[in-house]
Amino acid sequence: MARDDRGDEGEPPFDLEKVVLKFMDDHKEAIDSVLRDWGKGGKRRGWVVGAVMAFLGFIVLFTGILTAYSIISGEAFTFLVGAILMYLFNMIGPRLQVG
């Protein structure tokens, strides 16, 4: 039995888009409930935000110590602080009411 370069003649080509759409359609209710739970926020969200803030604070403290001992430059420390501030403003920006 000889095969050509494309594989078996009876197999249709794999279509990832169709597979993903079928999976999403089959699990619509489960996906909806997970997304609604994530959107609620509440106690778990407060804990996660606190953990992220603590982690970022540790990174700033550690790099501040390294900067104080001249292991890394002040420019690198300034860049890090600016990047973290941008992240924080992007995280709280949608919750701010302007006007």
Per residue, what are the HEC states of the chain?
A: CCCECCECCCCCCCCHHHHHHHHHHHCHHHHHHHHHHHHHCCHHHHHHHHHHHHHHHHHHHHHHHHHHCCCCCHHHHHHHHHHHHHHHHHHHHHHCCCC
**16 domain-assigned:** no
**64 domain-assigned:** yes
> Could you read off the pLDDT of 41-64 as tens digits, one per residue?
666 667 777 888 899 899 999 999
pLDDT over 60 (residue 88): yes
**30 domain-assigned:** no
**63 domain-assigned:** yes
This prediction has a pTM of 0.49
- Confidence band for 70, pLDDT divided at 50, 70 and 90: very high
**6 domain-assigned:** no
**60 domain-assigned:** yes
**86 domain-assigned:** yes
**25 domain-assigned:** no
Domain that holds residue 55: 44-94
Number of domains in the chain: 1
